[in-house]
Chain A
């Protein structure tokens, strides 16, 4: 049996879920023994294999057109899509800006922030991704497995990875189910 291929990427998040993944410590060796870890934002390979992977993991919500592309690419190239962490599952902290208009958010971030001098300017290069409302991954592409948590516990992440590597669908409940 070939080892299942796992790829991950991050979008509108804080990288904390990937840090929590690293918190599984030496158990990452166990994962590497049973799964083929492909592209991740913290390894050299950045894009999931065009030939496809078995499991795609996404951290963060979707807050611009670039994130949308990341989500669509991952969805297209993976069999099972995992939303990792509160931002990917619910929208999380970035989604708080949904209570304001995008214009308000941009003005606050680039012009009104205390550390900005008078020349504050909202970036408008046409090559930049266009900001959107912050969405949970499931609002853009179908998600197979939700792993909430801010961040999810390292033990929970290990459980999820181990189950997936062994060809099972992890079940998030009881002490493994937490949103904060």
Chain B
């Protein structure tokens, strides 16, 4: 530990800590701009200058390591003068006229810093040099005229996301934030995660969806769960007057550590689908508005004659729904109505092989996302983490500058290839064979150059992680082969699978994993929630005798339905989700649904009651009725 004195206070901090961190620990306020708690110190803005005894000049506290006996002063006239001078320089450099900026009035860290230093005018007027504005991106605008070159966006893109899209071009006052080698952002390698927008201290990165829709003092923050995929990142849903204004990442979230992707941040706000606001029943060939009672009666009338008939009712449920709803669905259709065709919109495809091996081994065999974050060599098999489950991809990509190696095995095109040290294409041979050959290569047996090279990388890794995607985990053979590979690599090796949607894991544990084949079934019930029906699902449901759809939005599927029940979407319903590494997480109800819209779970309960089916609430216990591939936490 190191002892130092800041403003007369004696403070003990660990070695390697910075003066700024030490001051914060002692609750001594030092103003900052380029500093961000999640990014490495940069020392760019100089607002955090402090006086240190024995130092000739003022020192930036954010990059200055503490040393024993150091005496620091944060409020001397010299320091205060320097702060004002630093701000004067920043204000004079570009266009910092506040009235037209979306962050003015509390949300701008530069403006707040100016107020804090009591700046009632600028000692130096701006130069009025014009900088480029880049409005080519779908979700945000880069307004270089408001940029203070703190490089938070660049650091977020590098350190949190690992996409390395943003950089600084040129020098001094001509410095510009650019994408790739100076291409428009909209045409760059940007993956639209929006982390840069979230960390920007000024109005230089403008979020098209939320700009001018409410300052921080006018909105409410709701920490909840993203249901975009199985990674299960925490998000901060920002609302105003029962409307979602923006979605930010949640820095306190243990799964994502505050990183989210396009699916979590921007997609939910550009839905654009037509909301279904009242129950609909088909009359004389067209869907007409009806009461809930009428709609549910129409369903019970169609369902009742089919009870107990194995081929009577086919039921399909979205894995974007909470575990409570999935369990209720299964209890109603599988246990209560004894239907032989109860499954999910994913057909259990992403989890089947993993579940099968768990039952076979009778114990968990997968590791945690924490392992992925800490891995120094990742083997990705059949998962395009550049396209889907992006945050898991960020965990790998951002570690590459620290030496983490990446090997990709995928018969299909994979966005991770651009980031990989080694890409292996299974070609004619299957994935299982490739994995088996890799195991053989680890044993020193003859193999292709690529496999030998992959074997070397994995062998020398301290924490090798094997991550399998849903393209391969349907087959138990592949999962078994990967498991053998993990065992071959020793105790430090970890195996993971990415599974699929937000609650694919729960659905798998409830046994909802069969292929949806509504062949001769008289009645089909689809609990879609807010999921977009896939082409595959639509094809299988064309021309059904009776189709009931429980959905939030109008779709080709609701258009085919005989009864449509309007239900809540993700931010309107509370419930639990199990993410890809077995973490049981709670999603909150953030906004109220429209009047006639009912909660997914409530609708299923009502239906069960009307059909005389007794269901219970054992959704949590049921998660562990069969062996799980990874220990639940």
In the complex, what distance in Å separates the CA atom of A91 from the CA atom of B98? 11
What residue of chain A has the Cβ atom nearest to residue B105's Cβ?
Answer: A180
Q: In the bound complex, do residue A86 and residue B98 qualify as a contact, i.e. CB atoms below 8 Å apart?
A: yes
Interface window among B117-125, B413-421, B613-621: B117-125
Question: Across the interface, do B99 and A83 meet the contact criterion of CB distance under 8 Å?
Answer: no
Docked CA distance A90–B97 (Å): 8
Tell whether, in the assembled complex, residue A92 and residue B120 are in contact, meaning their CB atoms are under 8 Å apart: no
B99 interface neighbour in A86, A136, A147, Cβ under 8 Å: A86
What residues of chain A lie closer than 8 Å to B97, measured between beta carbons? 86, 90-93, 95-96
Say whether B111 contacts A99, CB under 8 Å.
no
CA distance A138 to B122 in the complex (A): 10
From the candidates B95, B104, B118, B122, name the one contacting A173 in the complex (CB within 8 A): B118
Within 8 A of B (CB), among A137-160: 138-139, 143, 146-148, 150
Q: Is B100 an interface residue (CB 8 A)?
A: yes
Which of B98, B101, B120 touches A147 (beta carbons < 8 Å)? B120
Contacts of A91 in B (CB 8 A): 97, 125-126
Cross-chain contact A90 with B122 (CB below 8 angstroms): yes
Is the C-beta of A177 less than 8 angstroms from some C-beta in chain B?
yes
Are B118 and A177 in touch, CB under 8 angstroms?
yes
Q: Which residues of A contact B122 (CB under 8 A)?
A: 90, 136
Which residues of chain A are within 8 angstroms of B99 by Cβ–Cβ distance?
86, 92-93, 150, 179-180
With both chains docked as a complex, state the minimum distance between the C-beta of B130 and any C-beta of chain A, in angstroms: 5
Interface string of A111-151 (1 = CB under 8 A from B): 00000000000000000000000011011000100111010
Chain B residues within 8 Å of A83, by CB: 121
Question: How distant is B325 from chain A, measured CB to nearest CB, in Å?
Answer: 46
Interface positions of B from 539 to 594, Cβ below 8 Å from A: none
In the complex, A72 Cα to B128 Cα: how many Å? 25
Please report the C-alpha to C-alpha distance between residue A138 and residue B125 in the assembled complex, in whole angstroms. Answer: 10
Majority secondary structure of chain B interface residues (helix, strand, loop or mixed): loop
Q: Enumerate chain A residues within 8 angstroms of B101, measured Cβ to Cβ.
A: 180
Are B125 and A136 in touch, CB under 8 angstroms? Answer: yes
A143 to B125, CA, bound (A): 14
Q: What are the residues of chain B within 8 A of A90 when measuring CB–CB? A: 97, 121-122, 125
What band does the interface of chain B fall in when counting residues whose beta carbon is under 8 Å from A?
Answer: 20 to 34
Q: Could you tell me the distance between the alpha carbons of A174 and B112 in the complex, rounded to whole angstroms?
A: 10
Q: Check: A105 CB closer than 8 A to any chain B CB.
A: no
Which residues of chain B have C-beta atoms less than 8 A from A136's C-beta?
121-122, 125
A42 → chain B, closest Cβ, in Å?
A: 23
Q: Indicate if the CB atoms of A177 and B115 lie closer than 8 Å.
A: yes
Please state if A99 and B128 are interface contacts (CB–CB under 8 Å): yes
B31 contacts chain A at the CB level, 8 A cutoff: no
Closest CB in chain A relative to B2 CB, distance in Å:
36
CA distance A135 to B118 in the complex (A): 22
Indicate whether A12 reaches chain B with its CB closer than 8 angstroms. no
CB contacts (< 8 Å) of B121 on chain A: these are 83, 89-90, 136, 138, 143, 146, 148
Question: Does B104 lie within 8 Å of A179, measured CB to CB?
Answer: yes
Q: Check A180–B104 contact: CB distance below 8 A.
A: yes
Chain B residues with CB under 8 Å of A47's CB are none
B114 at the interface (CB under 8 A from A): yes
Q: Can you name the residue of chain B whose Cβ is closest to the Cβ of A95?
A: B97
Expressed in whole angstroms, the Cα–Cα distance for A95 and B97 within the complex equals 9
- Quick one: closest A residue to B128, CB to CB? A98
Task: List residues of B (61-80) whose CB comes within 8 Å of A's CBs.
Answer: none
Residues of chain A within 8 A (CB-CB) of B104 are: 179-180
Query: How far apart are B153's CB and chain A's nearest CB, in angstroms?
Result: 23
Q: Answer yes or no: A24 CB below 8 A from chain B CBs.
A: no
Binary interface encoding of chain B residues 114-152 relative to chain A, with 1 for a CB under 8 A from any of its CBs, else 0: 110011111001101010000000000000000000000
Cα-based distance from A179 to B203 in the complex (angstroms): 15
Contacts of B125 in A (CB 8 A): 90-91, 135-136, 139
Contact B130 A99 (CB under 8 A): yes
> Complex Cα distance A96/B101, Å?
13
Q: Mark A18-47, 1 if CB is under 8 A from B, else 0.
A: 000000000000000000000000000000
User: Could you write out 30 A-B pairs with CB less than 8 Å apart?
Assistant: A89-B120, A89-B121, A90-B122, A90-B125, A91-B97, A91-B125, A92-B99, A93-B99, A95-B126, A95-B128, A96-B95, A96-B97, A98-B126, A99-B95, A99-B128, A135-B125, A136-B121, A146-B120, A147-B120, A148-B120, A174-B115, A177-B115, A177-B118, A178-B105, A179-B104, A179-B111, A180-B98, A180-B99, A180-B101, A180-B105
